[in-house]
Amino acid sequence: MERSLEFADLLRLMDDRSTAFRAAVAAAPSLDVRVPTCPEWTLFDLVQHLGEGRRRWAAIVAAGPADAPPAWSAPMAPRERDALLAWFAASTEELLNALREAGPDRGCWTWWGSSQSPQTTVAVARHQLQQVAVHTYDAQVAVGAPQPLPDEVALDGVDEFVTTCVATTSAWPHKPAVIDYHATEGRSWRLWFSADGARAARLPAPVAAEGPEVAYVSARGTANELVMSCYGCVDGPVWSAT
């Protein structure tokens, strides 16, 4: 599937969302504030999770092509807020530096081996941008100031989710199905489910209203609503049967 964002844009936006994440944490009355979209976690837990993830993926990218992730131990996240924010900023920079050093096309281990996303650093950058973007929204919800994702992040996020998290060669155990996603920003995607697995593609506009591959159901909403629905953060788009 065609990528919406270039490698440099992915890194720039990852840095931007990480800055927004730190700002939300800094605005919280306490690190013990609960995160409604991650009900088992406090804000401290969210920062720790995301910071550890930056460092883990930095090690994976630095290791290069591999059949398994490298051995890695989680660093201790400080409990004091200023120190925690500095630790998170360093975690982000560690991942960004590893990605810059590797470049977009270097191979590395990923957990999505059977999806449509490649096992390369650009795919890691793409997924990690979505991770920090969605968790920035989580942090903003926790402090009562949620903001939609930037349009370019949200539109690429739908692409990224359907190709990385949905597409697979594992057999679909039910009758074949077709599902469409339509963003109000003017972009659409289709998912096909069959015995061959699940595959995704961006659709031209307008989408045909009849024919052998009309979607069984479709979701319509902003790209932000589609992404947040995919990650279970909001009720999301309007679904309709065809």
Q: pLDDT per residue over 110-165, tens digit each?
A: 999 889 999 999 999 999 999 999 999 999 999 999 999 999 999 999 999 999 99
* pLDDT value at residue 215: 83
pLDDT above 80: residue 211: no
d(CA 137, CA 20): 9
List pLDDT tens digits, range 26-60.
999 999 999 999 999 999 999 999 999 999 999 99
Residue whose pair of structure tokens reads 């800094």 in the numeric block: 26
Q: Any bridge partners for residue 182, and if so which?
A: 188, 220
The structure's pTM equals 0.93
Q: Report how far apart the first and last C-alpha atoms of the chain are (Å, whole number).
A: 25
pLDDT above 80: residue 236: no
pLDDT above 60: residue 25: yes
Q: Average pLDDT of 63-75? A: 92
Considering only CA atoms, which of 237, 47, 18 is closest in space to residue 142? 47
Six token digits for residue 181 = 């996603």
Q: Which residues, including other chains, have CB under 8 Å from residue 56's CB and lie 6 or more apart?
A: 69, 72, 74
* pLDDT value at residue 1: 46
Residue % of the chain over a pLDDT of 70: 92
Question: In which order are the strands placed within the sheet that holds 187-194?
Answer: 197-203, 187-194, 177-183, 217-221, 238-241
Q: Average pLDDT of 69-90? A: 95
pLDDT above 60: residue 224: yes
